[in-house]
């Protein structure tokens, strides 16, 4: 183009030197724009400078500039091809098409390299963007996965096929995708520094349409859901790291913590966890924690049998600092945590699940309160990571929006908001919580042991979170939630655990909890299960622990720690609501899932409590725990969250046995035609008369 400028006379005024300078600049820009090599533009530029500038003044300056340009570009090209390659030279769709084609060739080849001693490699030329498929001799010491092994790994459904790209990782930014899956880094298949943000960047959701998948992708997608009960395919697309914005309340960013904080031993137990979810959990702990505060990260494998959690995991973890992997037999979460706690040596134990993401500055708010009081047990604010889209809820919560833990009399954990009178003075102060969810919390290591750790008689998981919550409060400690520590958690659509066949583990754990800690209030749980206790093992050691720690009564706990909890023993009437006109029918309603409002129905009386157990409160509410009968002007009844405002939720048990709804001036009738109790005009018939009958 520069030569054309000169020949066509576009540069007509001035000396030859001036024309040469302009030609030099234009040629340089042309060369950089088209990524020409030095041989294509540097040497001709030098010759052009000599031919045009030799007889004139200024030739030396022009030649020096040409030499500098050649030297600088030589350095850049050398660096790009041997050191960085951090920016893909070609980011066009044609380049990615060539990459995809070569990857398909790699997957289709399924080379048997065990006998030939060679391996297939996909290379990307950082300067030209060329994609080459070649075969190399493999050294005896190399532990890198071969093409055949990689394809087998891919076919096993461990990874999402479309999550593989070709490029070179930016140091300190994205890690080698194969490296995080257990491959040694040899620049074979990697995650590039994505020209655009990677999937899930900044916690954004990943939206996919499985109907557009090929068969291999669909199989991997379905297998991920079946195995892990969340979208493993999307998790694999995200990889081992993603950036999450700082979503703490603004006041937390000005919070100052003691200069000397205790060190933490982070214990993560896992059983057949998805590789990408597990490694992302590990990296968020390591990457987003001050190095001097992490004493160690202890991984306890609770008897996993999936192949990717064996040798590939060990190879990958060998590259990470301060990390210990303990292989255990299948003992369940509770005992696996006891294994991790037994080998920990940091000042504070931090228990985390294996499918979490810690956010920036998550650690100091957990260690600070423990540094001030060793009997403080603290949980982070748990954010939701959507099981379908892997979206991280980055909403910045005010203190009034932070929920704390509670429970109902089926001994099921739940969340609720604190009354405004119980909010702390400062927005950054931890909130007192009656119970914890149990998956994520920090506790002084010696205090954990002093307090009795976990009940070893409990199996797998379930109820251990309530048991330790009651024990903390009743035995001299306090349980709080920090609004300044945010940790995301994938909430599965359903449990992926395989329970022991023929054994109701959760019921046994709940009975042990009730018998040791609930005193006379244990009857409120027992009537939920029809007073059928069965065998639940010896509790003598736990009763002795309670005596030794000189713990408060459960009545003290209810009045002091959780006064807002509805206590069924204070109800006006309780039991199954049986119709007097046809005594075979009782009112029934399932316990609602979050966000649901199930209808109230009729069902044959069974005398086992459960879905037929209700209480009539002193405020004329028919309720089960925090759910009340409700009618919004319709004939049918639903269960809705109790609001204590009477109105739609006020039902009066009259002396004649009828249940009267003042807001609509109607009575509850036996609606056998629709198998539901209905609100109709009061008529005094037997089908409108009911009796509360306890199963005790």
Chain segment 307-343, per-residue pLDDT in tens = 999 999 999 999 899 999 999 988 899 999 999 999 9
Instruction: Look at residues 119, 182, 192, 116 and name the one whose alpha carbon lies nearest to residue 154.
Output: 182
Is residue 352 within 8 A of residue 285, CB to CB? The reply is: yes
Provide the pairing of β-strand 131-137 with 601-604. unpaired
pLDDT-based confidence at residue 346 (cuts at 50, 70, 90): very high
Instruction: Look at residues 179, 200, 201, 199 and name the one whose alpha carbon lies nearest to residue 189.
Output: 179
Most confidently predicted of 71-75, 119-123, 256-260, 686-690: 686-690
620 SS3 class: coil
Give the pLDDT confidence of 430-445 residue by residue, as tens digits.
999 999 999 999 999 9
Residue 470: is it exposed, middle or buried by C-beta count within 10 angstroms (0-12/13-18/19+)? buried
pLDDT-based confidence at residue 152 (cuts at 50, 70, 90): very low
**Whether pLDDT at 540 is above 70:** yes
**Whether pLDDT at 291 is above 50:** yes
Task: Give the pLDDT confidence score for residue 300 in this predicted structure.
Answer: 95
Task: Give the pLDDT confidence score for residue 531 in this predicted structure.
Answer: 76
Q: How many CB atoms are closer than 10 A to CB 24?
A: 21
CA distance linking residue 242 with residue 197, whole number of Å: 10
Residue 127: is it exposed, middle or buried by C-beta count within 10 angstroms (0-12/13-18/19+)? middle
Mean pLDDT of the chain: 77
pLDDT-based confidence at residue 682 (cuts at 50, 70, 90): very high
Task: Give the pLDDT confidence score for residue 298 in this predicted structure.
Answer: 97
**Whether pLDDT at 156 is above 70:** no
For 661-676, the DSSP string reads ETTTTEEEEEETTTTE
Which pTM was predicted? Answer: 0.68
Q: Where are the beta strands (DSSP E) in 153-207?
A: none
CA distance linking residue 410 with residue 412, whole number of Å: 5
What sign for the dihedral angle of Cα 84, 86, 92, 93? Answer: positive
Q: What is the mean pLDDT of residues 679-685?
A: 94
Please name every residue paired with 297 in a beta bridge, in sequence order, or none if there are none: 266, 323
Task: Give the pLDDT confidence score for residue 425 in this predicted structure.
Answer: 80
* Residue matched to tokens 């049986």: 578
């Amino acid at each position: 183009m520069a030569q054309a400028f000169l020949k066509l006379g576009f540069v007509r005024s001035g000396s030859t030197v001036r024309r040469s300078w302009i030609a030099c600049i234009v040629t340089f820009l042309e060369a950089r724009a088209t990524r020409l090599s030095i041989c294509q533009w540097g040497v001709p530029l030098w010759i052009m400078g000599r031919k045009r500038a030799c007889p004139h003044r200024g030739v030396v300056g022009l030649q020096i500039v040409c030499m500098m340009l050649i030297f600088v570009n030589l350095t850049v090209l050398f660096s790009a091809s041997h050191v960085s390659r951090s920016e893909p030279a070609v980011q066009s769709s044609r380049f990615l098409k060539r990459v995809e084609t070569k990857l398909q060739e790699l997957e289709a080849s399924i080379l048997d390299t065990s006998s030939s001693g060679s391996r297939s490699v996909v290379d990307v030329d950082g300067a030209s963007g060329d994609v080459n498929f070649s075969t190399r001799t493999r050294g005896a010491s190399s532990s890198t996965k071969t093409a055949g092994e990689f394809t087998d790994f891919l076919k096993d459904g461990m990874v999402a096929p479309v999550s593989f790209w070709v490029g070179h990782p930016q140091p300190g930014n994205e890690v080698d995708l194969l490296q995080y899956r257990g491959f040694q880094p040899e620049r074979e298949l990697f995650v590039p520094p994505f020209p655009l943000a990677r999937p899930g960047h900044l916690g954004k959701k990943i939206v996919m349409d499985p109907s557009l998948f090929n068969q291999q992708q669909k199989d991997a997608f379905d297998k991920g859901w079946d195995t892990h009960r969340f979208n493993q395919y999307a998790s694999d697309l995200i990889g081992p790291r993603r950036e999450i914005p700082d979503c703490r309340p603004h006041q937390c960013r000005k919070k100052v913590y003691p200069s000397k904080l205790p060190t933490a031993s982070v214990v993560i137990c896992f059983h057949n966890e998805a590789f990408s979810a597990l490694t992302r959990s590990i990296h968020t702990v390591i990457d987003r924690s001050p190095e001097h505060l992490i004493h160690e990260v202890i991984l306890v494998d609770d008897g996993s049998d999936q192949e990717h959690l064996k040798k590939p995991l060990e190879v990958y973890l060998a590259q990470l600092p301060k990390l210990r992997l303990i292989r255990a037999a299948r003992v369940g979460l509770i005992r696996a945590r006891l294994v991790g706690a037994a080998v920990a040596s940091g000042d504070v134990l931090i228990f985390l699940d294996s499918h979490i993401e810690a956010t920036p500055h998550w650690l100091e708010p957990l260690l600070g309160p423990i540094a001030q009081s060793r009997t403080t047990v603290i949980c982070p604010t748990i954010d939701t990571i959507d099981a379908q889209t892997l979206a991280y809820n980055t909403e910045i919560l005010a203190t009034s929006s932070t929920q704390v833990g509670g429970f109902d009399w089926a001994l099921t954990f739940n969340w609720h908001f604190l009354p405004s009178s119980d909010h702390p003075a400062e927005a950054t102060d931890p909130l007192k919580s009656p119970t914890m969810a149990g998956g994520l919390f920090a506790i002084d290591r010696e205090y954990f042991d002093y307090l009795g750790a976990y009940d070893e008689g409990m199996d797998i998981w379930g109820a251990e979170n309530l048991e330790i919550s009651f024990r903390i409060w009743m035995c001299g400690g306090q349980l709080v939630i920090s609004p300044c520590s945010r940790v995301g958690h994938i909430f599965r659509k359903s449990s992926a655990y395989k329970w022991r066949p023929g054994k109701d583990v959760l019921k046994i754990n709940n009975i042990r909890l009730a018998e040791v800690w609930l005193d006379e209030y244990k009857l409120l749980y027992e009537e939920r299960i029809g007073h059928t206790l069965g065998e639940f093992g010896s509790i003598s050691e736990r009763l002795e622990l309670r005596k030794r720690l000189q713990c408060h009564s459960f009545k003290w706990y209810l009045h002091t720690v959780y006064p807002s909890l509805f206590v069924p023993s204070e109800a006006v009437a309780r039991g199954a609501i049986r119709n007097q006109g046809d005594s075979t029918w009782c009112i029934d309603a399932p316990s609602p899932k979050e966000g649901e409002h199930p209808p109230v129905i009729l069902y044959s009386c069974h005398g086992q409590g459960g879905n037929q157990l209700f209480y009539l409160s002193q405020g004329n509410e028919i309720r089960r725990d925090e759910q009340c009968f409700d009618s919004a002007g319709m004939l049918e009844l639903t269960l809705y969250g109790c609001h204590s405002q009477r109105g739609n939720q006020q039902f009066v048990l009259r002396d004649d046995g009828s249940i009267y709804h003042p807001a609509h001036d109607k009575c509850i009738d036996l609606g056998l035609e629709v198998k539901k109790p209905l609100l109709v005009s009061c008529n005094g018939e037997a089908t409108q008369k009911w009796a509360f009958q306890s199963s005790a």
